Amino acid sequence: MGRGKLRIYLGAAPGVGKTYSMLSEAHRRIERGTDCVVGFVEHHNRPRTEVMLHGLEVIERREIEYRGSTFTEMDVDAILARRPAVALVDELAHTNVPGSRNAKRWQDVEELLQAGIDVVSTVNIQHLESLGDVVETITGVRQRETVPDEVVRRADQIELVDMSPQALRRRMAHGNVYKPDKVDAALSNYFRPGNLTALRELALLWTADRVDEYLREYRGEHNIRTTWQARERIVVGLTGGPEGRTLIRRAARLAEKGAGGEVLAVYIAASDGLSSASPKELAVQRTLVEDLGGTFHHVIGDKVSDSLLEFARGVNATQIVLGVSRRRSWQYVFGPGVSATVARESGPDLDVHIVTHDEAAKGRGLPIPRGARLGRSRIIWGWLTAVAGPALLTLLLSQVVPDLGLANDMLLFLTLTVAAALLGGLLPALASVAVGSLVLNWFFTPPLHRLSISDPRNIVAISIFVGVAVSVASVVDLAARRTHQAARLRAESEILSVLAGSVLRGEDSLEALLERLRETFAMDSVALLERASEVDSWTTAAAVGHQPVGRPEAADVDMPIGENMALALSGRVLPAEDRRVLGAFAAQAAVVLDRQRLVDEAEEARRLAEGNRIRTALLAAVSHDLRTPLAGIKASVTSLRSDDVEWSEEDKADLLEGIEDGADRLSALIGNLLDMSRLNTGTVVPLIRETDLDEVVPMALGGVPEDSVELDIPETLPMVAVDRGLLERAVANIVENAVKYSPAGRPVLVSASALANRVELRVVDGGPGVPDEAKERIFEPFQRHGDAPRGAGVGLGLAVARGFTEAVGGTLTAEDTPGGGLTMVLTLPTAGDGPPVAAELPTAAVT
């Protein structure tokens, strides 16, 4: 049985009509005879959506008990047993109640798809996992219910349900989305025009990217190489020179002129030796293009123009931006240059912009070569000059300008030798000497057309010519090699300088260092391998690139680091002179790996030390604070059971009251200990729901005298997205602590107010207060401030309160009360973002 198909209706915000569109699709499929059922649809009491459920078969939901309440979730087993052709499943990012089959609803959907059932679902753009930080920046609300992007991207169909911000706000004002008492708060918080516009743009751009992915897949499957100008995509060709910054900014301006324009900066590295650009300059340009919203790419190729065009067509680019060549005028004799070649070969589907800049025609200066070797093209030109040059010069001297004299002829042939040395090095120059001396003897030295020389002076002249030519060729070749070696050392020193700087700052991760190594040497992949001993197998500590090797023997280049660690590079064989820089990278990689492990070990040691501290404090608490109420209970029970004393009813009541007080204190202490243990082990699982503060706060005051607290909770406050149970425990601990320190006759004030997208709950006491340096310390476990008596608790109340507050997405801080005392400020996120949200729950969470 094949996998089912997934169709998703994507929206920018609650209320745009995703569920309505999904139900409309269901009615259309039923009319076509498709077996379609409703697995789970939440209509949120919206009449028009609820009407659309009429006529559809609805699978009964599964009831789950959790914390004394009953919740309903989708019954996956019932749907699998029913086996419809299509199932409707609303709210793909929903977090299931603990005890459900899966932790997340998208996992339920995955089971249905695996069973061959087609699924139609809905999701809002703010619930995509990768956009959580962006959405929080825009709206101020952190989305706790998320779905992995890959789950949505794998959908067979994604349909955007779009609506303008003005139309959505009108729909809300008419009461079509929320109840009338929540409309004003929603419109003034989450559903502000700016928020909705930004979310709509996110949804449109994300959908456009998904369309781009489909287009790339389609072009690849059908081998389409021509550019389809569906979207402006601008490729910037970089050389690593300072003009790159100008080109990137120019490309960014071009992209801004068209909606959805994209900038891709690419550096083409030759496939032999060290990259020819400055690593420092490339790093600056990479940062610049990323700051402008583009992407940076590093491509390896033998010919820059061909590689650039191949990259541009591969990403379906519409424009290429290049800089005017930095060559001087005379250097064009060696070829037209990259810019002219790309413009000539781009074809009609690619526009090429050649941008002027301050570095134009100034020359490249000293190159940063890829080795002390001459390039292949230069060697070929050197041999052509050495072999074909004398023949052409002989033809010129014989037919065009004869009778110049042997001395002038020798000078011209000597010039050819120097040119051959400059282009191809020593061997072509020596060949030029040999060919030139033979040609001079045969064509220009009497007797002509014979290899003999009649005049002794000519023998001396030709001998001098050969000696001078060989000497000049040797000097020119040596100077060229020294220049290349100096430039190479400059490249190496710059690389090592950048590397040393990163070492001192400790800023590079191991993966970033290996990626820099891969780009520097233009390799396909780099892996750092290690083993426990010589008899153990190699394991990969870190790797970058395509298909990294798992053994040093399988690599093109391996660099040992001690006995049990090695760098393995694949892609090509490096010359011996590159191993010095490679060795520096290898040593740095080992240092970074050791540093990461030391950091991890230090963190583990810190965690163990914290655990030991808590255990020590727990033992101290158990040895004294828990024994105190137990001793009181024991004494009261012993007195009641004593036959030696006849207790009056009043005395018995006092003893029973003492037992009850001791049991209550013991229960509170044990409860805080258990809560602290859950917080430390990460097993607190909040169930986030829309909640009114005026319903939760009064419930939290059961443990304090009635006249000790004064409440000021307006009914007009927006609802908050919290776990009611955890919030109640947090407020109870805060209030009990405030009542404990507040002077007699002065009640604690508990007030609340709305600020932007959050609600603040303030607990104000008139006690002695806390110094500024101790305000954070009072939230640590087993901390009691000042002269609190030993039997007053174990110092966990505020630590548990902060832990529970942070678990539901809030904050808890301490401030001074004007006039004396301490004010606890509990800040909670509002629920103005629509449907209830929940934190991501572990599958096997214990609550």
Q: Tens digits of per-residue pLDDT, 151-196?
A: 888 898 899 998 888 888 888 777 778 777 677 677 777 788 888 8
Q: Name the more confident of 122 and 772.
A: 122
**What are the residues facing 298 on neighbouring strands?**
267
Residue 767 has pLDDT above 50, yes or no: yes
Rg (CA), the chain: 40
pLDDT averaged over every residue in the chain: 79
- Rounded CA gap, 247 and 253, in Å? 10
- Rounded CA gap, 364 and 381, in Å? 21
- pLDDT at residue 733 in the model: 85
Cα of 545 vs its chain's centroid, Å: 17
386-396 tens-digit pLDDT: 888 888 888 88
DSSP string, 36-73: EEEEE---TT-HHHHHTTTTSEEPPPEEEEETTEEEEE
Peptide bond into 456 cis (omega under 30): no
% of residues, the chain, pLDDT over 90 = 11
Amino acid, res. 846: V
- pLDDT at residue 844 in the model: 34
- pLDDT at residue 231 in the model: 67
Q: Name the more confident of 640 and 847.
A: 640
Residue 496 has pLDDT above 60, yes or no: yes
Q: Are 179 and 831 in contact (CB under 8 A)?
A: no
- pLDDT at residue 122 in the model: 94
Residue 737 has pLDDT above 50, yes or no: yes
pLDDT range class, residue 840, cuts 50, 70, 90: very low
- Rounded CA gap, 808 and 649, in Å? 48
Q: Which residues contact 193 (CB under 8 A, 6 or more apart)?
A: 165, 166, 169
Q: Name the more confident of 486 and 308.
A: 308
3-state DSSP assignment of residue 234: strand
Cα of 842 vs its chain's centroid, Å: 23
Residue 753 has pLDDT above 60, yes or no: yes
Owner of token pair 């496939």: 271
Average pLDDT of the residues in 43-52: 84
Residue 780 has pLDDT above 70, yes or no: yes
pTM for the full model? 0.39
Tokens read off for 564: 């049990």
Tokens read off for 834: 């629509």
| Secondary structure letter of residue 697 according to DSSP | T
- Rounded CA gap, 603 and 507, in Å? 18
Q: Are 774 and 784 in contact (CB under 8 A)?
A: no
- pLDDT at residue 366 in the model: 35
Average pLDDT of the residues in 292-319: 82
Residue 279 has pLDDT above 90, yes or no: no
- pLDDT at residue 84 in the model: 93
- Rounded CA gap, 177 and 194, in Å? 19
Residue 363 has pLDDT above 60, yes or no: no
- pLDDT at residue 278 in the model: 66
Q: Worst-scoring range by mean pLDDT, 112-116, 398-402, 503-507?
A: 503-507
Average pLDDT of the residues in 406-431: 79
- Rounded CA gap, 685 and 846, in Å? 8
- pLDDT at residue 110 in the model: 93
Give Cα separations from 510 to 403, 564, 777 (angstroms): 71, 18, 36
pLDDT range class, residue 6, cuts 50, 70, 90: very high
pLDDT range class, residue 833, cuts 50, 70, 90: very low
Dihedral angle sign, alpha carbons of residues 414, 417, 422, 425? negative
- pLDDT at residue 10 in the model: 92
- Rounded CA gap, 80 and 101, in Å? 13
Average pLDDT of the residues in 667-681: 65
- pLDDT at residue 230 in the model: 57
Residue 788 has pLDDT above 70, yes or no: no
Cα of 444 vs its chain's centroid, Å: 74
End-to-end CA distance of the chain: 39
3-state DSSP assignment of residue 758: strand
Q: Worst-scoring range by mean pLDDT, 426-430, 451-455, 649-653, 665-669?
A: 451-455
Q: Name the more confident of 228 and 16.
A: 16
pLDDT range class, residue 847, cuts 50, 70, 90: very low
The torsion region of residue 782 among left (phi > 0), alpha (psi -120 to 50) and beta comes to left
Average pLDDT of the residues in 297-318: 80
Q: Are 608 and 615 in contact (CB under 8 A)?
A: no
Amino acid, res. 622: V
**Angle, nearest 10°, between helix axes 649-681 and 627-641?**
150
Q: Are 52 and 23 in contact (CB under 8 A)?
A: yes
User: CB burial class (10 A; 0-12, 13-18, 19+) of residue 777?
Assistant: exposed
Owner of token pair 């729909």: 171
- Rounded CA gap, 141 and 830, in Å? 8
221-262 tens-digit pLDDT: 666 656 555 568 899 998 877 788 889 988 888 887 765 678
HEC sequence for 17-39: CHHHHHHHHHHHHHHCCCCEEEE
Tokens read off for 662: 């001791």
Q: Worst-scoring range by mean pLDDT, 349-353, 363-367, 439-443, 733-737?
A: 363-367
The torsion defined by the Cα of 498, 503, 507 and 508, in degrees rounded to 10, comes to 80
- pLDDT at residue 7 in the model: 93
Of the candidates 15, 91, 10, the one whose C-alpha atom is nearest the C-alpha of residue 49 is 15
- Rounded CA gap, 828 and 762, in Å? 11
Of the candidates 777, 776, 774, 782, the one whose C-alpha atom is nearest the C-alpha of residue 616 is 782
- pLDDT at residue 59 in the model: 92
pLDDT range class, residue 559, cuts 50, 70, 90: confident
- pLDDT at residue 625 in the model: 55
- pLDDT at residue 34 in the model: 92
Q: Which residues contact 81 (CB under 8 A, 6 or more apart)?
A: none
The torsion defined by the Cα of 715, 716, 718 and 721, in degrees rounded to 10, comes to 0
Residue 39 has pLDDT above 80, yes or no: yes
- pLDDT at residue 107 in the model: 92
3-state DSSP assignment of residue 840: coil
Average pLDDT of the residues in 288-314: 82
DSSP string, 821-834: SEEEEEEEEB-TTS
